[in-house]
Amino acid sequence: MAKYLNAKRLKELILDDSELALLDVREEGVFAEGHILWAASVPLSRLELLIDILVPRLSTPIVIYDNNDGLSERAAAYLSNFSYLNIAILNGGIQEWEAAGNLIFEGINVPSKAFGEFIEKNYKTPKISARDLKKKIDSQEDIIILDSRPFSEFNNSNIPGGIDIPGAELVYRIYDIVPSSKTLIVVNCAGRTRSIIGAQSLINAGIANDVVALNNGVMGWELEGFPLEYDSKRRVIESSSVAISRALSASEVVARKFGIKTISQAELGVWENEKNERTLYLFDVRNPEEYEAGHLAGSVSAPGGQLVQAIDVYAATQNSRIVLIDDNGIRATLTASWLVQMGWKDVVVLRDGLVNVDLKMGPKTHKIAGINDANTSTISAKELKQAIKDENVTIIDLGNSLNYREGHIPNAWFAIRSRLKKSLQKIPIKDHLVLTSEDGIIAQLSINEIKEYGFNKISYLSGGTAAWIASGFALACGEENMADKMDDIWLRPHQRLTKNTEAAIDYLASKIVLLTKITQDGTSRFQLFKK
């Protein structure tokens, strides 16, 4: 049974050095409207998919909060069923937190983004405006533009001429692609954080070149009215032995500067044996392709740049142990240097992390809490197609609303799982209720709770909407049949159908004031290192 605590006690726990997982169980879009700084977004709708990744230790102290609307109690019941042992609920929800004089923060990945502003201000990271960069490009000056985002983001749109080298890869790859020390290096991302961290990474590593961050990234470029490239394939995924040698020397400089610790495989074994007493995260910071080609058992793919950009997506337990893994220590060391500055105390690099060990291939399979108890009443895509012809079926899509907007089974209804009891009142229900989601898992997990609402003939689409697509059946697009509004996710400015420019301006403005606000909050552990 979960206990309750007040805002004062929660503040004490946040400031303590003990482990704590603070979970916001509202939908991500609601979370983005205002949340507690160190909370991880773990919507009740997707709790089973996320909890084992974010909170792997069952005895971790967990505090849950909501809008004082009953979601926390439901989440606590789920977690208890999943064998979590130490669960508390913030009495009165986020309203009680705010009423007690505490701040709330808008957006997602706020600690990381505030940290980026902290770095820029205190290290005075050089930057360049979009207009000045455009002039240099037009004048054919000696510059190179490095995009520090994952390839999928880069491939969607990028600054013309840019080359994709995700954040933790920059020092690792730089010596092959910038042969001249006179070349100006410009680092960009979508907005601000990864531009700043990427540029400062190169500076910290002692690169001889002048390095600048593109102020406001791709958004700033677009706001100036400059064109973008689309579907670009320029990326660097291999390094020469000479470049690796130079990068190793640079990473050693970083390790000394920021006091990066390492552990052996034997020492990791000791930590593994203690993981029921101390939370242990094993993050492989290489690119996803390298991870799938062979990784340490139990490790999670967390490309270093993204791990720094969105640490709350990977690790919800504060004051936990973090072990970073790569093939030669370069990317792990650079990533560790940022996590240490962010305030994570027990961050180490695994020495010879992939040497003389059995490697696992393919993506990591995550444990899905409660899946073994989920209903197995299925319907195939072909059977569903026939049922639709017979006009006796209602389809409810419980997946991501953006995915629904971009493509869903014709005549399906969109609903948010955590609100299904109310949503079902808006949906015309026929004889047979069929649930779907992207891969069918959320749909499967939802059947038992819907049965409690009095529905009898319920199935989930085996393989979800992906199976429907694989069968060659058509999709519908748009925001038709929406039983709930699209607040299950936070829409990035470019994903909005209207007022994209205004959203981008607001987004960038919100990042600039973050540092002042986080200072007022008084709970950050950001730290500076003397040069």
**Tens digit of each residue's pLDDT (9 = 90 or more) over 275-291:** 999 999 999 999 999 99
Instruction: Give the pTM.
Output: 0.94
The CATH H-level (homologous superfamily) assignment of domain 3-108 is Rhodanese-like domain (3.40.250.10)
**356 Ramachandran zone, left/alpha/beta (phi>0; psi -120 to 50):** left
The domain spans of the chain are 3-108, 114-250, 253-355, 374-470
Beta-strand relationship, 295-296 and 359-360: antiparallel
Distance (Å, whole) CA 514 – CA 114? 5
Q: Is it true that 3-108 and 114-250 share their CATH fold?
A: yes
Reply yes or no on domain 253-355 having CATH 3.40.50.620: no
**Measured at the alpha carbon of residue 108, what is the angle toward residues 522 and 156, in degrees to the nearest 5?**
145
Q: Which fold has domain 114-250?
A: Oxidized Rhodanese; domain 1 (3.40.250)
Across 473-494, average pLDDT? 90
Report the CATH architecture of 374-470: 3-Layer(aba) Sandwich (3.40)
Nearest by Cα to 242 from 175, 180, 289? 175
Three-state SS at 22: strand
H or E stretch including 529? none
Residues 123-158 pLDDT 10s: 999 999 999 999 999 999 999 999 999 999 999 999
Please compute the mean of the pLDDT values over residues 201-208 and round it to a whole number: 96
Q: Is the pLDDT of residue 371 over 90?
A: no
Is the torsion defined by CA of 134, 137, 139, 141 positive or negative? Answer: positive
Q: 374 burial class (0-12, 13-18, 19+ CB within 10 angstroms)?
A: middle
pLDDT one-digit tens code per residue, 311-346? 999 999 999 999 999 999 999 999 999 999 999 999
pLDDT of residue 372: 82
**pLDDT for 372-387, tens place per residue?**
877 778 999 999 999 9
**Mean pLDDT, the chain, integer:** 94
Model pLDDT, residue 497: 58
Task: Determine the pLDDT at residue 509.
Answer: 75
Q: Which pLDDT band, with edges at 50, 70 and 90, does 364 fall under?
A: confident
- Is residue 390 over pLDDT 60? yes
Determine the 3-state secondary structure of 200 from DSSP: helix
- The amino acid that residue 251 corresponds to is S
Residue whose C-alpha is closest to residue 460's, from 383, 392, 362, 389: 383
Query: Residue 531: its pLDDT value, please?
Result: 57
Contacts of 71 (CB under 8 A, 6+ apart): 25, 26, 44, 418
Beta bridge partners of 317: 21
CB 322 within 8 A of CB 347: yes
Beta carbons within 8 Å of 25's beta carbon, 6+ residues apart = 42, 43, 44, 47, 64, 65, 66, 71, 72, 74, 75
